[in-house]
Amino acid sequence: MTHEGVVSAAQRFRQAVRAGVHDGLTTGCAQGFVQANLVLLPQRHAHDFLGFCAANAAACPVLAVGQPGDVSLPGLGEDIDLRRDLPGYHVYRGGRFSEARRDVRDLWQDDLVGVAIGCWFSMEDALREAGVRLRHVELGIQGPLFRTNVRARSFGRMQGPLVVSMRPFRLADVATVRSVSARYPRVHGAPIHEGDPAVLGITDLHAPDFGEVLLPLPGEQALYWGCGLTAVCALQTLQIDFITHAPGRMLVTDLLNQSLAETEELP
Amino acid sequence: MTHEGVVSAAQRFRQAVRAGVHDGLTTGCAQGFVQANLVLLPQRHAHDFLGFCAANAAACPVLAVGQPGDVSLPGLGEDIDLRRDLPGYHVYRGGRFSEARRDVRDLWQDDLVGVAIGCWFSMEDALREAGVRLRHVELGIQGPLFRTNVRARSFGRMQGPLVVSMRPFRLADVATVRSVSARYPRVHGAPIHEGDPAVLGITDLHAPDFGEVLLPLPGEQALYWGCGLTAVCALQTLQIDFITHAPGRMLVTDLLNQSLAETEELP
């Protein structure tokens, strides 16, 4: 899946991050390459985390798992250093957000396990190629994310709300978005809901729980997808220390977005 | 996803197995309900196993993970007892097949973890509804499975060949099979190969490594899918004790096959 023998745009991007040249959002960076959510958590909680993700696979599709204490993630790219290759990290202590960091080398522990979860960004190329207008991309934002009143499937002590992302599309594009996104099950797949936010217990589109406000215009329909933050919210209930990517500052991998589409290519 | 308040055909089937009334193949049983591969392995190896499955998600899609020592698997159905609700088990010792069992209650250990992996059977309803002829179903067989010369992505010490299933289809049905199966990523999704078996290093279609012989007739095309046995073969390299379902004797769950199709319904 990687361009062997060639330093990919993804590798160059990670090197720039590591060198301190880039510390902004990864939106639009290393186009064509998969960007992933990252969670670094103690090994003794990894089983609960992976069980929860399996039980909520549409929201929390696991792209790769690391070995305990291993700062690399060979399944997703050459020379990845999970401690410093993302432009930003969020550190949680006792389950609560503590601080944002540029680098987490000094927080690394030998029992930490990296888990990469698919991100909706990876279907944007295919949507664009299908002629779909992506208004959130035009605005340079990620879009709004909401905690819903739908409960995720619990696993052990991990439980919480289903978190969703919303993006508005032209009515004429909705059928295309539905069929293209269904081809990308490892980055949340087809929308889980269309239209009325109240069905998900979302009372105010002006007040997203994460991300930025973006309202459907006349002639647009709001589409909703499960979001990897579902796993982060549930992990908080364990009241443990863990680390995630900072919002919009994702792990840029060597995988090509098109490799996540069904048909999956051979290894 | 379950029919609440009603004992489903799946539950009735598991009860019949548990009562010793049924010990044959699960093919055609409890139609409409998801059947899954099962692996029971020691917790200390579960991380490697789940990491391997994530790295080979098309072949080894994890449907559910159990808690260590828990004989139930609540994500997949009411009252499941993983030790006796399958009509047959295969016991491996030191990585080698040791014996077939009807029941593994006396082998249960408090550190065992159950992992359910998606099975191709779950897309058969949708293919049938789309008018596709399923010749292996007419013959009452599972079909042939082959070890290929394609290496699965390794994870830690787990490594091995990609194992594939093959089924022949009428040429006129191939496009339909491709598009319907792509809607079922959690049961192997779209075919990974069509046609010439030599491309996968399969030299003799008359000699499958598992399952039964089934050759494409004139006017048929052979289609190949990644198979959950990929994970079992790789697990053997750890030379540990573990237990799986016996071939064709699957875990019958309370999930409906249609629930695995994109769009996934809300939890």
User: Is residue B24 predicted with pLDDT exceeding 90?
Assistant: no
Query: For residue A159, is it left (φ>0), alpha (ψ between -120 and 50) or beta?
Result: beta
Q: Is the pLDDT of residue B262 over 80?
A: no
CA-closest candidate to residue A186, choices A59, A88, A78: A59
Q: Tell me the residue length of chain A.
A: 267
Please indicate whether residue B267 or residue A230 has the higher confidence score (pLDDT).
A230
**Tell me, what amino acid is at A6?**
V
DSSP code for B18 = H
Nearest to A152 among B63, B186, B267 (CB): B267
> Are A185 and B190 a contacting pair at CB < 8 A?
no
Question: Residue B2 pLDDT more than 50?
Answer: no
Residue A1 — pLDDT band, cuts 50, 70, 90? very low
pLDDT at B204 over 90: yes
CA distances from B48 to A41, A120, B41, B117, B213 (A): 16, 27, 11, 15, 33
Q: Which residue of B has its CA nearest to A74?
A: B155
Q: What CATH class is the domain A122-230?
A: alpha beta
pLDDT at site B258 = 87
- Nearest by CB to A192, from B46, B155, B264: name it: B264
- Structure tokens of A23? 């510390």
Give a three-class secondary structure readout of chain A: CCCCCCCCHHHHHHHHHHCCCCCCCCCCCCCCEEEEEEEEEEHHHHHHHHHHHHHCCCCCCEEEECCCCCCCCHHHCCCCCCCCCCCCEEEEECCEEEEEECCCHHHCCCCEEEEEEECHHHHHHHHHHCCCCCHHHHCCCCCEEEEEEEECCCECCECCEEEEEEEEEEHHHHHHHHHHHHCCHHHCCCCCEECCHHHHCCCCCCCCCEECCCCCCCCEEEEEEECCHHHHHHHHCCCCCEEEEECCECEEEEEEHHHHCCCCCCC
Of B55, B75, B190, the CB nearest to A262: B190
- The 10s digit of each residue's pLDDT in B220-260 is 999 999 999 999 999 999 999 999 999 889 999 999 998 88
Question: pLDDT tens-digit profile of A207-239?
Answer: 999 989 999 999 999 999 999 999 999 999 999
Say whether B264 and A190 touch across the interface (CB within 8 A). Answer: yes
Task: Identify which of A54, A65, A189 has the shortest CB distance to residue B264.
Answer: A189
Q: What gap in Å lies between CA B146 and CA B210, rounded to an integer? A: 7
Task: Calculate Rg over the CA atoms of chain B.
Answer: 18
Which residues of B have a CB under 8 Å from any CB of A?
43, 46-47, 50-51, 54-58, 62-68, 75, 113, 150-153, 155-156, 162, 178, 182-183, 185-186, 189-193, 262-267
Q: Which of B112, B117, B263 to mutate to test the interface with A (most CBs of A within 10 A)?
A: B263
What would the two tokens of residue B167 be?
Answer: 């089924």
Taking each helix axis from N to C terminus, what angle separates B229-236 and B43-55, rounded to the nearest 10 degrees?
Answer: 130
Is B47–A65 a contact, with Cβ atoms under 8 angstroms apart?
Answer: yes
Q: Which CATH class is domain A9-118+240-260?
A: alpha beta
Work out the angle between the directed axes of helices B43-55 and A43-55 (0-180°, nearest 10).
50
Write down the pLDDT at residue B265. 40
User: Hey, are the CB atoms on A63 and B54 less than 8 Å from each other?
Assistant: yes
Q: What residue type is assigned to position B47 of the chain?
A: H
- pLDDT tens, residue by residue, A27-38: 888 989 999 999
Average pLDDT over residues B139-160: 92
B21 CA: distance to closest CA in chain A (Å):
31
With bands split at pLDDT 50, 70 and 90, how would you rate the model's confidence at B27? confident
Spell out which residues of chain B touch residue A56, defining contact as CB-CB under 8 Å. 267
**Minimal-distance CA residue of chain A relative to B185:** A185
Interchain contact, B75 vs A189, CB within 8 Å = no
**Secondary element (H or E) of residue B46:** helix B43-55
Output DSSP code: residue B155.
Answer: B
Q: Which region, left, alpha or beta, applies to residue B83 given φ > 0 means left and ψ of -120 to 50 means alpha? A: alpha
Cis peptide leading into B263, omega within 30 of 0?
yes
Q: What are phi and psi of B210, to 5 degrees?
A: -145, 165
In chain B, domain spans: 9-120+239-260, 122-230
- The label of the residue with tokens 């390794």 reads B154
| Token digits of residue A55 | 């039980």
> CA A249 to CA A37: how far, in whole Å?
9
| pLDDT in the model for residue A261 | 83
More confident residue, B101 or B142: B101
Structure tokens at A2: 């990687």
Position A258 scores a pLDDT of: 87
Given a cut of 70, whether residue A46 has pLDDT beyond it is yes
Closest partner residue to A267 (CB to CB) among B67, B162, B265 is B162
Return the CATH number of the domain spanning residue range B9-120+239-260. 3.40.1640.10
Q: Which one of A39, A45, A50 would you mutate to disrupt binding with B, by most B Cβ within 10 Å of its Cβ?
A: A50
Residues A189, A181: Cα–Cα separation, whole Å: 5
Cβ within 8 Å, pair B263-A162 = no
A56/B150 CB distance under 8 A: no
For helices A43-55 and A229-236, the axis angle rounded to 10 degrees is: 130
What pLDDT, on the 0 to 100 scale, is given for residue A78? 85
HSE of A263, CA atoms in CB hemisphere, 13 A: 16
Asked if the Cβ–Cβ distance from A264 to B58 is below 8 Å, we say yes
Residue A263 distance to chain B (closest CA, Å): 5
Per cent of chain B over pLDDT 70 is 96
Q: What is the ipTM of this complex?
A: 0.81
SS3 B166: strand
Q: Which of A49, A65, A254 to mutate to test the interface with B (most CBs of B within 10 A)?
A: A65
Q: A with B: how many residue pairs have Cβ under 8 Å apart?
A: 114
Of A180, A186, A223, A229, whose CA–CA distance to A205 is shortest? A223
Q: How far apart are CA A225 and CA A167, in angstroms?
A: 9
**Chain A residues within 8 A of B267 when measuring between CB atoms:** 56, 150-153, 162
The residue count for chain B: 267
User: Contact A50/B65, CB-based, under 8 Å?
Assistant: yes
pTM of the model: 0.88
> What tokens appear for B21 in the block?
């009334």
Confidence tier at B5 by pLDDT (50, 70, 90): low
Give the span between the Cα atoms of B256 and A259, in whole angstroms.
28
User: A61 CA to chain B: closest CA distance, Å?
Assistant: 9
Residue A175 and residue A260: Cα distance in Å, rounded?
20
Q: pLDDT band at residue B83, thresholds of 50, 70 and 90?
A: very high
Taking CA A67 as the corner, what is the angle to CA A38 and CA A242, rounded to the nearest 5 degrees?
40
